[in-house]
């Protein structure tokens, strides 16, 4: 790999969130992650153990999703899921914030729901999906402020299952809101090297994509 490929690959969460994907598909995902040295693989909870085993001693972490993709805000279940995933070896958790609570301005409930997962993670990376396509600019800024207040390490654009994924203008707004040090993950619809570079230029420090191989090959 050339230096640009190495740098960008190190920002990619190599993602497989297809409900029909098999164990063989996940083994292939891990093989690709090892070949290109992606930052993590991001998979559904029931494939965490398999991927942890496949990536043992590779230096590549396993990321999984919590309350995904709907963000229903069942804190007790989310805590239990987070604890189970950590026990199976997940090192990063991408959770959806309580979408309904945010929409009706129950912001304390949103924060408390995130805090439960952050506490369960015990210092492991928690990225909070705010589903940017649902909100106006001031709401995106507020969601970023809430995420920062909880001790999570990243704010993330999208699940990839809503009407729209990552948009560079919204990534830039998120970066301006959280400041230079906090994590910003762009995810949803990022398929090419140009897409990834645009998100990074806008302020993303992590890229979630199922097209990681195509992206690094295109650099």
Q: CA separation (Å) from 103 to 28, 112, 143, 164?
A: 39, 15, 11, 18
What CATH number has the domain bearing residue 33? 3.20.20.70
Phi, psi of 64 (to 5 degrees): -135, 175
What is the reported pLDDT for 136? Answer: 98
Active-site residue (options: 13, 81, 127, 185): 185
Q: What residues make up the domain containing 207?
A: 3-217
pLDDT band at 76 (very low <50, low <70, confident <90, very high): very high
Percentage of the chain lying above the pLDDT 90 cut = 99
Distance in angstroms (rounded) separating the CA atoms of residues 159 and 47: 18
Number of folded domains that form the chain:
1
Active-site residue (options: 13, 67, 156, 195): 156
What is the reported pLDDT for 149? Answer: 98
What residues have CB less than 8 Å from 124, skipping those under 6 apart? 86, 90, 91, 92, 93
pLDDT band at 59 (very low <50, low <70, confident <90, very high): very high
Residue 156 appears among annotated catalytic residues = yes
pLDDT tens digits for 118-152? 999 999 999 999 999 999 999 999 999 999 999 99
* pTM tops 0.85, yes or no: yes
What is the reported pLDDT for 157? Answer: 98
What is the reported pLDDT for 154? Answer: 98
Active-site residue (options: 13, 94, 98, 195): 94
If phi > 0 it is left, if psi is from -120 to 50 it is alpha, else beta; for residue 89 that is left
Residue 185 appears among annotated catalytic residues = yes
Rounded mean pLDDT, 188-216: 98
pLDDT band at 48 (very low <50, low <70, confident <90, very high): very high
Token digits of residue 93? 């958790």
pLDDT tens digits for 90-119? 999 999 999 999 999 999 999 999 999 999
């Amino acid at each position: 790999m050339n230096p640009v490929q190495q740098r960008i690959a190190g920002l990619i969460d190599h993602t497989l969130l297809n409900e029909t994907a098999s164990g063989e598909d996940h083994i292939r995902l891990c093989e690709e992650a090892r070949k290109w040295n992606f930052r993590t693989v991001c998979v559904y909870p029931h494939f965490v153990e398999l991927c942890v085993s496949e990536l043992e001693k590779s230096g590549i972490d396993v990321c999984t999703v919590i309350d995904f993709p709907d963000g229903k805000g069942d804190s007790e279940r989310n805590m239990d899921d987070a604890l189970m995933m950590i026990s199976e070896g997940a090192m990063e958790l991408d959770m959806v914030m309580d979408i309904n609570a945010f929409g009706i301005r129950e912001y304390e409930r949103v924060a408390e729901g995130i805090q439960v997962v952050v506490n369960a993670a015990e210092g492991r990376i928690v990225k909070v999906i705010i589903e940017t396509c649902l909100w106006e600019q001031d709401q995106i800024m507020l969601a970023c402020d809430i995420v920062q207040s909880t001790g999570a390490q990243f704010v993330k654009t999208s699940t990839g299952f809503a009407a729209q994924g990552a948009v560079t203008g919204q990534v830039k707004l998120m970066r301006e809101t959280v400041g230079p040090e906090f994590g910003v993950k762009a995810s949803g619809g990022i398929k090419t090297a140009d897409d990834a570079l645009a998100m990074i230029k806008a302020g993303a420090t992590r890229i979630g994509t199922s097209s990681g191989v195509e992206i690094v090959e295109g650099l």
